[in-house]
Chains A and B, each alone.
Chain A
């Protein structure tokens, strides 16, 4: 089973790397977003308040990492729909390795891609005034990995019963984009309307965002953020629930 899952994950990564436009799109889009929004909104905030421009670029940085993980995880689950349509999935379904290999292969493949891409962006963190040391980096990788598995599982859960990628794009716009918008990635909950604040409190991504933000703000030598363990526990719990839901869905034979 493990060998089969590993092979499926490896296939996912090889496919990704061989489609150059996917690599470029996945890396360039968030950086472009970061730069445009960070620069654009940053100036507006300067006029409105007292913060200087670098502050918003810096505020927006964890949100960008969240976006990379979200979109890579989701786009790698689109391949489930393609695999089903093209027939590749049938070949896997009749193999004795069974559904568990398919599920874990996809989750691992998607999550590894997401974390690797997020890490390449973390490399430029110093330009956003974040200076993670090795200890913080290790925690970042841990949070990002669990988050990536959770989001890939969410994508898997939604993609599995679908037969068209168009339908999946509608779900992305309707569900994933608002999840991201209401995670604190764009604006902190503090100054927003009451109902938005409530939504953000119930959005599991808020806790992931908070964890990433806290970690990135930790300067070398400073103690870890106080609410990290609480945030991380919530992310782990939600991920577990999503993975179990996937397992339940895939194990039912048509």
Chain B
């Protein structure tokens, strides 16, 4: 069925294998024009391989991808003009200054000197690094280097920005700062954004996510929809004796109580969770250390779909 809006990226049945080892299988998703899309998965889930296919580094093996309305298989070069790419590893030359790096990048895209200098100034300003133009990249902090990379990716005025684990190695404060810069840029330019991450909280601001595990799509769709598909809000009671407490609550009937390490998860069969939280606090106040009103998270979704906690994906210690 035809949709009203245009797709910035559309992938259909994408698969990839390194030799005989299959790392991606039947991946399908769609990034709307102007939207923000997140490929979320633990390490080793195939995110980076998918990213390398999208950024034209790896040749597409199975399936079809269209970017900015063109087939990736047939037109990789025109697509390269439409995408700005931010790799997980820094793709800037440490021995050059910020400005030299941007100038070099512009030359790779055939930009000419006057227009190029104007664009460099504009992008340095947009990223708040206009005073660092003459500094060697190796002298900058991790957060500032990432800003240089973003300025570089945006220099060629792409319509789609692709970012592979853009905040890797940055501390939480710098990470938050970087995201606010990216969202600021999205507001001022018509830009579709696709990024990968293994951090659950980073996926939240995306319009839609694709949850990957071991090269397969586990779930996809708008974050809010995925969450509501998990069921309702619940109450978590902190407890030193979760088993005993869970059994006690279950005896009440019309209530589900599951013992988890150091807490009990209580889901109302009828009604909403908030009044239940207050009642449980009153009733069991002496036996619990805390009462938390919870909404299902993406982590719950991952656990439900794969049966494993997020932190322990296979192949990881």
Q: Which A residues are within 8 Å of any B CB, using their own CB?
A: 3-4, 6-8, 10-11, 14-15, 18-19, 86-88, 90-98, 101, 253-254
Contact = CB atoms under 8 A, between A and B. Distances in A.
Given A14-B96, A18-B95, A88-B91, A94 B85 contact: yes
B80 interface: yes
Contact of B57 (A8, A15, A88, A254): A254
* Interface residues on chain B, size class: 20 to 34
B83 interface: yes
Given A3-B107, A86-B90, A98 B85 contact: no
Contacts of A90: 57, 85, 87, 89, 91
13 contacts: A3-B107, A14-B95, A14-B96, A15-B93, A15-B96, A87-B91, A88-B93, A94-B56, A94-B80, A95-B108, A96-B108, A253-B59, A254-B58
Contacts of B244: none
B307 interface: no
Contacts of B25: none
Contacts of A98: 77
Nearest to B107: A7
B81 interface: yes
B261 interface: no
B105 A94 contact: no
Interface of B: 55-59, 77-78, 80-81, 83, 85, 87-96, 100, 103-105, 107-110, 152
Contact of A7 (B85, B90, B108): B108
Q: In the complex, which of the residues A4, A92, A94 has the most CB atoms of chain B within 10 Å of its own CB atom?
A: A94
Contacts of B105: 91, 95
B21 to A, nearest CB: 15
B133 to A, nearest CB: 16
B110 A3 contact: yes
What is the interface of chain B mostly: helix, strand, loop, or mixed?
loop
A92 B80 CA distance: 11
A165 to B, nearest CB: 16
A113 B272 CA distance: 74
Contacts of A86: 89-90, 94
3 closest Cβ contacts across the A-B interface?
Answer: A87-B89, A91-B91, A7-B107
A88 B100 contact: no
A132 B59 CA distance: 53
A15 B95 contact: yes
A4 B108 contact: yes
A211 B73 CA distance: 49
A86 B90 CA distance: 7
Nearest to B103: A7
Contacts of A96: 77-78, 80-81, 108-110
